[in-house]
Every structure is written in C-alpha cells, then in structure tokens.
Structure 1
Amino acid sequence: MTWSAGRLCGFDLETTSPDPETARIVTACVVQVGDKRPTQSRTWLSDVDGEEIPAEAAAIHGVTTDRARAEGSDLRQVVEEVLDALSAVVMAGVPLVVMNARYDLTLLDREARRYGMTPLTEGLGDITVIDPFVIDKQVDKFRRGSRKLADLCAHYRVRLDGAHSADADAIAACRVAWRIAQQQPEIGNASLSILHKQQIEWASSQAESLAAYFARTPGKEHQAATVRREWPLVPFVPTPREGS
C-alpha cells in the first residue's frame, strides 16, 4: 500500500510572528485523515502566556490578544497536549504532514524547551514528515508565482475551508500531499523513509538557491545569511550564559 492510501496526520500552528525562535503558539491543530477511517481532529487556542499578539499576526489568523486571554488555555498545557497528540501519532507509525515543516516543527521544539519538556524529536527519535512545500518545489521547480498553502490548493485543485486557521490549513496540507502523490508516481510510490531522506536533500538545495537569490539581489543581500538549510526543523543551539 502506498503512503497516500494510509493514515496521514496534518499538523499546523498559527502564531505570533514569522520567527520560529521567538514566536508563540496561538492556535494548533492535529488532524488524522485517510485510510478509510473517520477524521479525527483536535484544536487548541492558547493564552500566549500573557504576551501580546501583534496586529499584523491577528490580521492573518483572526485571533486578537483579548480573545486569546479570554478564551485561550494555558500555553504550557497546550504545548504539552500537542506534544502528547503528536507523539501518539508518530508511535503509531503515521507520517506527519506539515506545510513548511521547518517553521512549525522548529517553533514547537522551542516552545517545549521553554517549559522544560522533552521536544518531539528527542523523545521519539526519528519522525517521518511529508512537507507539501518542499515536495511541490521539487516536482515543479520552474513554476512561477507564490507557493503558499492557498496557492498550492489552487494549483492542485484542493479545497481550502478557511485559510489561516490551524484546522483548515492542517487538513488542506494533507489534501495537497495526497494530490501530489496521485499526480507524481515517484512521490506517491516512494517509501516514507526514502521520501523523508529525499526531502532533507531537496530542502537544503532549495534553501541554497534562495540564499543565492538574496545574495545577488540588490537590497536583499543581508537576507542570505538568515536562510536555514536544515529540515524538518532547525537544531536547537543553546545560548551561552552571560559570564560563562
């Protein structure tokens, strides 16, 4: 059986900023679909640990600071429950489908460390990830235009029910991954372990290409140094203590 015919787990976060090192989780979704079984979905809204949600972030996902504080659960509890949910999925052998995994999985890793929790990858070792963002850029390298989730949904004719909500995006990412698998036999017929290893190489190559673009583009040269090549998450580097 091909991986796309089996169970898939979509994971998505909506957050306070585009920097996974400092952003906080606003909403999260873990959804299991496929394998001819009912969809199982769980979503969370956090209180962002008392921090402010910038207006530009709220404009994207629709959650304001006031709403998060009034309706959100303790962020520590949210992180713990998300880790537990994902751990159960990984232990069951279900691959994680994460659009732009480098961001979401890095952010979850940093949140876990802030609260002294065992990060997902350290607690379980290797995990299998399917990243529609990376795979699409590999199989259709020269297509022009944006490659955000909404764009991929339009390109692959996938329904997106409410962009920029964690549950809608998580399900849509699974749908895009499934569609690519149907259209691209080399993706759909690959074993999960091989596909995961291939994405590590593809993501690194794509990052190098982006860095080169920044380096040769006037006004964007400084951005080249900020491009990360690691995938599916950026390894954590402890900050040296003052005076050490």
Structure 2
Amino acid sequence: MGNWQERLAVAEFAISGTDLDTARMVAARVAVLDEDGSELARWDWGSDRADAVVGEVAQTLRTLLVLGIPLATFDAATGLTVLDHECRRRGIEPLAEPAPVLDPLLLDALIEPEYEGSRTLNAMAERYDVEPGSLAAGRIVRAMSERDEFSGTPSNLHARQRGMRDGWPVLPLEDIRIIEDTQPIPAPDPRPSDTVPMFDFSDGGMLALEPAPERAVAPSPAPRRIHVAAAIVTDTAGRAIVVRKQGTTGFMQPGGKIERGESALATLIRELREELGLEVDVDATEFLGSYEAAALNEPGQTVRAEVFALVTDADLTPAAEIDAVYWLESPDDTDSVELAPLTLDVMLPLWAARRPALF
C-alpha cells in the first residue's frame, strides 16, 4: 500500500439519531495511529463538551487531512454528513470535500463483494482478527491492507468508494432550512480550547500536536436565521397591534423566539401572554405560513417567522419587555411609526389580503 501507513487518522462519532438532517453530534474521538497500530495522539470529546465537539472535530480533521494523513472511519457517510450539517447549522466552516477517506464498510465490499454476512464493526473486527472497541476502524483498515484484493493508494481507494455511493462521503444537503434548529445555536469558536492540532510553521513546517492557542483564528460567523413565532393580532374594529421592545425604536408584530424543543404555537401562546396579557384561543388562531425578512434589531441577521393570525376583543396592555404598543388603522398605515422589515414586507401584505373577508 505504500508509506501512507506510517500515519493513519481514525475518527469515531456518537450521534443522537438516524435521521442525518436532524441528528446531533454528541461525542467524538479522533486519533493518529502509527504503522504498528499504536496511538501517536488522541483527542476525545465527551457529552460534557457537546458545545465544543463540532468545531473542534472539524478543525482536527481539517488539519490532519491537509497534512495528507488518510482518515479511517466506519460508515463515513453517516458521521461526516452529520458533522457537515452540524457545522452549517452552527455557522462553522465545514470540511471541504474531505479526502482521502477509508471506510471499512465500503472497503470490505470491494474486497469481498459476494460476502453476505454481517458488516457491523464488531463482526468485521472478528473477521479481520482485530480487537473490537475503540479505534477498531483504523486497525481494520490496516488489516485489510494485507489482503491481496486490497490495492491502490488512499486517493485511488477514496475514488473507488465514491463510485459506490452518490455524494459519498458527505451526502448533499438540498436545503439549509431542513437542518436549522428551532432556536439558532450560537456558533462556537472552531477551536475554543487547547485540545486540537494546529499548524506550526515556526520549525520547518511541522505539525504541532501540542496546543498552540495563540495561532487560532476564528472565521467570521455566517449569518444566522432567528426563528420566531409572530402574529397578526387584530381587534374587532379591524386594527392590528404592533409592539416596541425596551431599548429599541421600531415596532413589530407581537411574538418571540422559539425555544429549543418548543413548537411555534406554544411559543406564540407563551409570548402573547407575557407581552400583552393575552390568552390565545387556539381554535380561533389561524396559521398563515413561514416567511423570512431582515431582522430589525440584529443587523445582518434574518428572521424566519411562523406567522399566525387571530382576532381578539381583549384589553391588551404592554408587559414584560414590551415598552409600548401601537394600533395600526390599516395595512396602508406605514408612516405613523417605524416598522420592522418583517411587518412591512410580510405582515402588512398578509393583513391586507385577509382583512376584507374579516371586517
């Protein structure tokens, strides 16, 4: 196989589910193995470090792959796809076409295409006489390299595996909105601790396996969407209420950010109760759809709103973080107060379209 066997990286991922669009990476391990299978270096991320795992794993793999160290990982399409989606979800730069990747699951199919037995990691470890457990994927790849059927450079093998599965090793994402959280997660520093390898060119361009925090440079965070539930709340006279939060100048629809694990309707019920003292009648509340607009108070950010409509005769008074309320007389009332882009671009046209049938 060649001198690439002097160094082999191994990655193991623990993810929270089987749906690649919604799964989360909760733990990971990356190691560099010597040619005899011993560990030269290892980095572990447990569930107690879930806030750092995505950025640090991506940085670690990026560094090792740039150095030309092949990466062995079992069922690469699952682990690397979830890592890719987690990076995009959190505004972290994903790995750009990671290669070469050596996946024992696919390589075994190249070696023994007619084999009909189990191809679980433990079953393959037994077949290739490798001790199961931590880092077994890398040691299986080394055992495979001793087989006559296993030939080619890591790049050649990577290309052959790509031909077996479309999009491998990172399955394509058709729409970023599919993987967005209900509440955007603040993007962590891609290297927020001293646990991942970095380049060190101060001494002949060698890889620094020791921490070099002063060399870490965080990329500019990607714009994120702020996911909210908002409502066109009208009174029996046909007016629509807008609210202004404390410390701001613009008025917007009542509502607020959707918390993780919370439905848009649950958010609406909670926010209208807190902001206006309004108890929402769910049966009389209509869902109008999902819309996007520029955020009023977060420059450069986008608001994605789950929009509802309801009519009430309740006495609405500002509470919690609401500093003032204003009743718009009609959808054409755009100059009386400063209005948020979501209100101007989305809410007023929706209100204009439905108002004749209601009032």
Pick closer, same or farther for the CA change 1:103–1:38 going to 2, 3 Å.
closer
Q: CA deviation at 1:3?
A: 5.1
- Partner residue in 2 for 1:175: 139
Q: CA deviation at 1:183?
A: 1.1
Q: CA deviation at 1:92?
A: 1.0
Q: Which amino acid aligns with 1:9?
A: A
Q: CA deviation at 1:8?
A: 0.5
Q: Does 1:119 align with 2:83?
A: no
Corresponding pairs, count: 180
- Partner residue in 2 for 1:139: 111
Q: Which amino acid aligns with 1:172?
A: A
- Partner residue in 2 for 1:66: none
- Partner residue in 2 for 1:235: 172
Pick closer, same or farther for the CA change 1:82–1:240 going to 2, 3 Å.
closer
Partner Cα distance (1:4, 1:175) in 2: 14
- Partner residue in 2 for 1:199: 161
**Aligned 1:76-87 pairs, distance under 5 A:** 76-87=51-62
- SS of the residue corresponding to residue 175 of structure 1 reads helix
Partner Cα distance (1:126, 1:40) in 2: 20
Structural RMSD (CA)? 2.1
Partner Cα distance (2:41, 2:18) in 1: 28
Q: CA deviation at 1:134?
A: 0.3
Q: Which amino acid aligns with 1:194?
A: N
Q: Contact 1:30–1:42 at 8 Å: present in 2 too?
A: yes
Q: Contact 1:128–1:193 at 8 Å: present in 2 too?
A: yes
Q: Which amino acid aligns with 1:182?
A: E
Richer in helix (by share):
1
Q: Contact 1:9–1:96 at 8 Å: present in 2 too?
A: yes
Q: Does 1:130 align with 2:94?
A: no
Q: Which amino acid aligns with 1:89?
A: L
Partner Cα distance (2:91, 2:115) in 1: 43
- Partner residue in 1 for 2:85: 110
Q: Contact 2:4–2:69 at 8 Å: present in 1 too?
A: no
Pick closer, same or farther for the CA change 1:97–1:190 going to 2, 3 Å.
same
Q: CA deviation at 1:76?
A: 3.4
Q: CA deviation at 1:39?
A: 2.3
TM-score for both structures, normalised by structure 1: 0.68
Pick closer, same or farther for the CA change 1:145–1:93 going to 2, 3 Å.
same
Richer in strand (by share):
2
Q: Which amino acid aligns with 2:53?
A: V
Pick closer, same or farther for the CA change 1:103–1:144 going to 2, 3 Å.
same
**Aligned 1:19-30 pairs, distance under 5 A:** 19-30=19-30
Q: Which of structures 1 and 2 has the bigger CA Rg? A: 2
Q: CA deviation at 1:42?
A: 0.9
Q: Which amino acid aligns with 1:22?
A: T
What stretches of structure 1 of length at least 5 have no aligned partner? 47-71, 162-167, 205-228
- SS of the residue corresponding to residue 183 of structure 1 reads coil
Q: Which amino acid aligns with 2:156?
A: I
